[in-house]
Amino acid sequence: MDTITKFEDLSNEIFLEVFEYLHCLDLFMAFASLNNRFTFLLSLPQLHLIVNEYHFDYQIEFLSSHLIHRAHQVISISFHDQLCDYLGGVIYFFFNKHTFENLRSCIFHLNYLPWGLYDIMEKLKNFNKLVLFEIFQPKNEPLPDNIKEQLSTIALKCKSLKLRSVSLLFPYTYPKLLENNSINSTLTTLRMMFHGVTTICSVYSFLPVLRIYRALRNLSIFISNQNNQQIIMPTLPAIYGINPPILSLLKSFELCVKTFCSFNQLSFILGCMPNLRRFIFTVISLSSSISYLHRNLFRGDEWELLSKNRLSQLDIFDIFLHIQYSNFGLDMNIVVNSFNYFTTKYDDWYLAVHQSQCTFYNKKKYINLRGFRRSKKTRHHVFSQMRMVLGTLNIYSTSMADNEHDLFYSIYKDLHIDIPVNTNILNIPSYGQLFKNINYLTIEIDSSILIFVKKILDFCLCNPAEVYQKDCADKIASLIDLTTITKLEFKSKSNIYFIKHILL
């Protein structure tokens, strides 16, 4: 006779194993009110507390009520701070009610200035078991500089001797870094975002980090300027020229700059990292004047020289250049061929250059250069948006299969396509679908008065406009995997055919 195993017949060990995969809300809602056995089991596992922008006030109160006698079990927190109807900020609400004395991982997503932040920061100072501390400012709503200073001070001078990873992803200049003479020998992973005027913030701004944090294995730096139109050539501070900081333990370095950057600057910085194994480099330049100065970054022979002199132990080299320009004056086939050193050194290293007009309102173009090793999943940064005029995309690449070109576009989740109704679409790449990870698609159609009148005339002549829009929709489908899209937006007053053809 077959025996039936009921859910409650499973052993405690199996339940505890299952609990490890659930965060607090799911765990408490599923098991908190069943019976005494599960009440006991819930007192045993380490807990992971997650509150995001989709949680309601009643769920937040429910969580807090079940943490009254279990806060000491919480080892990780991830809060998207938000204003609740009567609870105040989420971060303040939980830290005001619970101590979390065994916290090891703390992640804050700050959408605004948190309520009661000063009280929270006082408590954070005493977390002596913290291993990971991250602060994000996802919507770029400015925090006061004094708050940024206190947050960065708490993170970078935390009392926990176990602290190994810190992320400070909010725009700031970190002026007190220059005043810090202490040496940190425990932090192994650090991510920071530098932002300020060009006279203060440059590619050299993070050099104090190299001097202070000697045990770093992984370093990610993001640098941008407030006044990106102004060109100021940064000079190396004399103290670093005389006595450059050396990070012999650093293995991975990611540098993303939205300001001027040259090979001389890169040569000095990489010279401070003699044992580097992984280098991910990004330049984003939306100013034509600065973009012209970045022309040399498209020279593969200069990258070869830099690699031989400074990156002899490198295993992963990932480069991405996004430049907006009016007249760049480069032969893209020559650019691609100049990187042959890397395609020879690494069997699976590919490079492609992509050109396209940005919008139909602006004749400026952008150029993307991307080089990476296919076998290595290296780049974690996902770019916010790519925009192009349909039919203006040109691709130049090293030898690779047509169905592999989508790898160059895997970093994009948001795509904006401009469709100029008054011009013929001439150039659609024949590499299959290039965009296979797009979640947000925006289609904008040029619908000026003259075009609108033309559509009326076309409508009277058996409506060839619908035929044209269907052709455009087919070409969009040939470029994009539409099955991954979660948000579709049309920016046109006369898009009924596009809506029909895209959705179908």
Amino acid at position 44, single letter: L
In this prediction, residues 445-458 reach a mean pLDDT of 54
Residue 338 predicted with pLDDT over 50:
yes
DSSP H or E run through 27: helix 24-31
In this prediction, residues 318-331 reach a mean pLDDT of 82
Domain closes at, from 322, 357, 377: 377
Distance CA 415, CA 84 (A): 33
Q: What is the residue range of 85's domain?
A: 11-172
Q: Which of 138-152, 339-353, 417-431 has the lowest mean pLDDT?
A: 417-431
Residue 305 predicted with pLDDT over 60:
yes
Ramachandran angles phi, psi of 335, nearest 5°: -60, -50
**Same domain? 34 vs 92:** yes
What is the DSSP-derived secondary structure letter of residue 427? B
Distance CA 374, CA 407 (A): 8
pLDDT cut 90: percent of the chain above it? 34
Q: Name which of 273, 283, 404, 409 is nearest 349 in CA terms.
A: 404
Instruction: Determine, yes or no, domain membership for 270.
Output: yes
> pTM of the prediction?
0.86
pLDDT at 450: 42
List b or e across 183-209, with b for residues whose CB sees 16 or more CB atoms inside 10 angstroms: ebeebbbbbbbbbbebeebbbbbbbbb
pLDDT at 449: 40
Residue 302 predicted with pLDDT over 70:
yes
Report the CATH number at residue 111.
3.80.10
Give the CA distances from residue 243 to residues 107, 182, 210, 237, 484, in Å, rounded to whole numbers and listed in that order.
Answer: 36, 17, 12, 10, 51
Q: Name which of 128, 55, 51 is nearest 94 in CA terms.
A: 51
In this prediction, residues 65-94 reach a mean pLDDT of 83
Residue 46 predicted with pLDDT over 50:
yes
pLDDT at 378: 62
Q: Name which of 407, 364, 368 is nearest 385 in CA terms.
A: 368
Concatenate the DSSP letters of all residues of 187-241 into one string.
--EEEEEEEE-TTT-STTTTHHHHHHBTT-SEEEEEEEES-TT--------HHHH
pLDDT at 184: 78
**Same domain? 297 vs 443:** no
What average pLDDT is seen over the chain?
82
**Same domain? 267 vs 292:** yes
CA 485 to the chain's CA centroid: 19
Amino acid at position 504, single letter: L
Q: Name which of 399, 390, 392, 350 is nearest 480 in CA terms.
A: 390
Query: What six digits make up the tokens of 171?
Result: 């725009």
Instruction: Determine, yes or no, domain membership for 473.
Output: yes
pLDDT at 40: 92
For residues 427 and 157, the model is more confident at 157
Domain closes at, from 377, 410, 444: 377
SS3 14: helix
Provide the number of structural domains found in the chain: 3
Residue 215 predicted with pLDDT over 90:
yes
Instruction: State the pLDDT confidence band at 57, using cuts at 50, 70 and 90.
Output: confident
Degrees, nearest 5: CA angle 258-260-264? 130
- Helix (H) and strand (E) counts in the chain: 17, 19
**Same domain? 373 vs 437:** no
pLDDT at 288: 64
Instruction: State the pLDDT confidence band at 453, using cuts at 50, 70 and 90.
Output: very low
Give pLDDT tens digits for 232-243.
Answer: 778 888 888 889
Ramachandran angles phi, psi of 445, nearest 5°: -110, 135
Return the C-alpha torsion angle 123, 127, 132, 135, nearest 10: 10
Instruction: Determine, yes or no, domain membership for 408.
Output: yes
| C-beta neighbour count of 358 within 10 angstroms | 19
Distance CA 314, CA 34 (A): 55
Instruction: Determine, yes or no, domain membership for 221.
Output: no
Residue 64 predicted with pLDDT over 60:
yes
Residue 447 predicted with pLDDT over 70:
no
pLDDT at 408: 85
Instruction: Determine, yes or no, domain membership for 220.
Output: no
CB 74 within 8 A of CB 100: yes
CB 432 within 8 A of CB 403: yes
Instruction: State the pLDDT confidence band at 359, using cuts at 50, 70 and 90.
Output: confident
Q: Name which of 97, 121, 99 is nearest 108 in CA terms.
A: 121
Give pLDDT tens digits for 2-44.
Answer: 677 787 888 999 999 999 899 999 999 999 888 899 989 999 9
Residue 60 predicted with pLDDT over 70:
yes
Instruction: Determine, yes or no, domain membership for 225.
Output: no
**Same domain? 180 vs 303:** yes
Instruction: Determine, yes or no, domain membership for 232.
Output: no
pLDDT at 504: 53
Instruction: Determine, yes or no, domain membership for 238.
Output: no
Residues 6+ positions from 361 with CB-CB distance below 8 Å: none
Residue 401 predicted with pLDDT over 90:
no
Instruction: State the pLDDT confidence band at 278, using cuts at 50, 70 and 90.
Output: very high
**Same domain? 432 vs 494:** yes
**Same domain? 121 vs 18:** yes
**Same domain? 292 vs 354:** yes
Concatenate the DSSP letters of all residues of 144-195 into one string.
PHHHHHHHHHHHHT-S-TT--EEEEEEEE--GGGGG----B-S--EEEEEEE
Write out the E strands in 226-274.
Answer: 252-258
Distance CA 155, CA 81 (A): 18
| C-beta neighbour count of 177 within 10 angstroms | 18
Domain closes at, from 333, 360, 377: 377
Amino acid at position 393, single letter: L
CB 203 within 8 A of CB 259: yes
Query: What six digits make up the tokens of 348?
Result: 């699976």
For residues 148 and 300, the model is more confident at 300
In this prediction, residues 333-337 reach a mean pLDDT of 92
**Same domain? 262 vs 323:** yes
For residues 437 and 302, the model is more confident at 302
Residue 156 predicted with pLDDT over 70:
yes
CA 249 to the chain's CA centroid: 25
Instruction: State the pLDDT confidence band at 251, using cuts at 50, 70 and 90.
Output: very high
Return the C-alpha torsion angle 281, 287, 290, 295, nearest 10: 60
CB 265 within 8 A of CB 203: yes
pLDDT at 14: 92
What is the DSSP-derived secondary structure letter of residue 407? G
Distance CA 303, CA 204 (A): 20
**Same domain? 102 vs 120:** yes
**Same domain? 166 vs 303:** no
For residues 180 and 294, the model is more confident at 294
**Same domain? 145 vs 179:** no
Q: Which of 101-105, 297-301, 447-451 has the lowest mean pLDDT?
A: 447-451
Q: Name which of 234, 231, 238, 276 is nearest 255 in CA terms.
A: 276
